Chains A and B, each alone.
Chain A
Amino acid sequence: MTSYGAPAANPREAAEWSTGRVVRSNLRAVVGRAYPRVIGLTREPSWIFFEILLPFLAVSAFVFVYRALEAPEEFVGFVVIGGAMTAFWLNVVWMMAAQFYWEKDQGNLELYFTAPMHLMSILAGMAIGGLVMTSSRALAVIGIGSLLYGVNYQVTDPFLLVAVFVLTMIPLYGMGMLFASLFLLWGREAFHLAQLLQEPIYFLGGVNFPLRALGPVAGLVLATLPLAVGLDAMRQIVFPGAAEGMLPVGAEMAILAVMGVVFLVAARLALRYLETLARREGRLTLRWQ
């Protein structure tokens, strides 16, 4: 039988954490929050069917549209790559942006806010925890798509592809954190906003067609939507010659890098500001808000 132990000498001492301790604590929070996501996959395996097989079938529908239109084969490849990337977008929207909505429902949101870790750590943990499922889905779409539809990937530089992918993920997840902060402001409406961020983003992001097809709108999209920029760059690397990118890959990588910084900083500021606003208006604790 053990005792309850004793804390530090006094609360002021206990409250003063070094920068190193703050960083370590937040990293542990990331791991902690990722844990239920990862362990949940092993305890309810239905996700393999619903999160991999079925989305693959939805992607296939667009493949067949191009086949019906007798499109050049590289368009099938565009759809497959786009379908793989939507997995990450959905992870951002539903497993990050709208997650506080679920947490509030379950009564966990209050517990997060009274704990010392930063909210971005919680969001990062959710995102990383969801990445297992997301990556499985993306790889399944790419792999099965290649096998079934004969997509011929001609990756000119795999390291460049990985770099573009990573550079795309950073602002993508930064956007997710930014949207999560909007939830704190908009409560239930943020849930509907998350639903709104599917088809319109697939359209603006050129998920199923080259971004060029959007004409003048494409330029605006390039400046704001990391999914579109990343897809455009990845298609140029995977289908060189066939994919007419908006800008050279290097330029698009630079845009993604800038977006990454902008979105992460914006997310941090927004989370802080909107937490204060939510505390002022009592939105953290009102369950039906």
Chain B
Amino acid sequence: MIERPLTVDGITLRDAWKSFRTAIGLGWAIESNWSDPFLFAIYTLAKPLAAAMILVVMFNVITGGQGNEFLQFLIVGSALWNVVFGVMGGLVQSILEDRERYRMMKYVVVTPSSLFPFLLGRSLARILISFIAVFLTLGVGVVLLGVELRPNVLYLVPALILGVVAVMALGIFMAGWCLQLRQEAWSYPEAIAGALYLISGAIFPIDILPSFLHPVAYAFPTTWWLEASRRGLLGHGSPGAIGGLPDGIVMLLLVVTTAITVPLALAAFAWFMKRARQAGLLDMTTGS
């Protein structure tokens, strides 16, 4: 009897793993191809720190520096949001770069492996770099701004993992969507991440939003991820209604929203790929 390999959609898991692993190396080679490490360090540091400092100055201008709890809320949200920018930006950038700049995407698509593990692996380096930004921002917050971290590792680690999975799902959705668009789409993940900024409780409590937006905010896994990560880092929840929920409920809601988002995103990506093949978009070059 012929032993058939385990497959998903006709692609073996072994092929997918090989593709993922190889793409990690490729992504790292591309991201680490710096002729000036000093500039790389500046880039990794300055962007997330400036984003946090904008909020700190806004806070200080109004409160005169009073109200440490809200400042901690701001710093942690701003730090973690680097992951959202990094993941979404990394996935979309990978797809657009490989299609328009390196023109390799068509060659990857015609291999037995699917584009999906390749994309994930390719963007992993960017994701890891975004975590450096998280640590740096938190570090500056602790050292210079009086942020007090009380990490609960058992709570924090699963929260972070689930959050990254959820954000990657959103990123995959974006990547598939941007495949339908022209080259300027490289800026769209930041636009989407900026919009999610609004409804995820990243830098202000969700209670401040108009009430009709509350259900939208609660439907996104990023909202629960931020809340769970804050609890895991600071030892307490956010200001507002969401902060009153028990830790278990917050984690459960993170699991549920992630579990809904991931398959939806994968299905959407598959549909976007099919549409891209129908419309001949896989090797399209655009630009203006």
Contact = CB atoms under 8 A, between A and B. Distances in A.
Interface of A: 36-37, 39-40, 44, 46-47, 50-51, 53-55, 57-58, 60-62, 64-71, 75, 90, 94, 102, 105-106, 129, 188-189, 192-193, 195-196, 198-200, 202-203, 207-210, 213-214
Interface in B119-178: none
A61 B203 contact: yes
A213 B188 CA distance: 31
Interface in B50-98: 50-51, 53-55, 57-63, 70, 74
Secondary structure of the A contact surface, majority rule: helix
Interface stretch (B13-21, B41-49, B264-272): B41-49
A40 B184 CA distance: 10
A39 to B, nearest CB: 8
B184 A189 contact: no
29 contacts: A36-B288, A50-B192, A51-B187, A54-B194, A57-B195, A58-B191, A58-B197, A58-B198, A60-B198, A61-B194, A62-B58, A64-B209, A66-B62, A68-B204, A68-B208, A69-B58, A69-B62, A69-B63, A71-B61, A71-B62, A75-B62, A106-B285, A193-B39, A199-B48, A203-B50, A203-B54, A203-B57, A209-B57, A213-B57
A46 to B, nearest CB: 5
A129 B184 CA distance: 14
B288 A37 contact: yes
Contacts of B226: none
Contacts of B50: 199-200, 202-203
Interface residues on B, range: 35 or more
Nearest to B101: A105
B181 interface: yes
Nearest to A199: B50
A227 B183 CA distance: 27
Given A40-B182, A46-B181, A47-B184, A57 B58 contact: no
A196 B61 contact: no
B33 interface: yes
B211 interface: no
A66 B63 CA distance: 10
B3 interface: no
B54 A202 contact: yes
B158 to A, nearest CB: 27
B111 interface: no
A275 B189 CA distance: 33
A199 B54 contact: yes
Contacts of A196: 42-43, 46-47
B202 interface: yes
B94 to A, nearest CB: 15
B205 interface: yes
A57 B198 contact: yes
Contacts of B278: none
Given A54-B194, A198-B47, A202-B54, A61 B62 contact: no
B36 interface: yes
Closest 10 CB pairs of A and B: A58-B194, A54-B191, A199-B50, A40-B288, A57-B195, A68-B204, A200-B50, A36-B288, A69-B62, A203-B50
Nearest to A196: B43
Contacts of A202: 50, 54
Given A55-B191, A209-B58, A64 B208 contact: yes
A236 B48 CA distance: 30
Nearest to A187: B35
Given A44-B182, A47-B184, A69-B63, A61 B204 contact: yes
Contact of B195 (A54, A105, A200): A54
B271 to A, nearest CB: 17
A210 B204 contact: no
B33 A188 contact: yes
Contacts of A94: 187
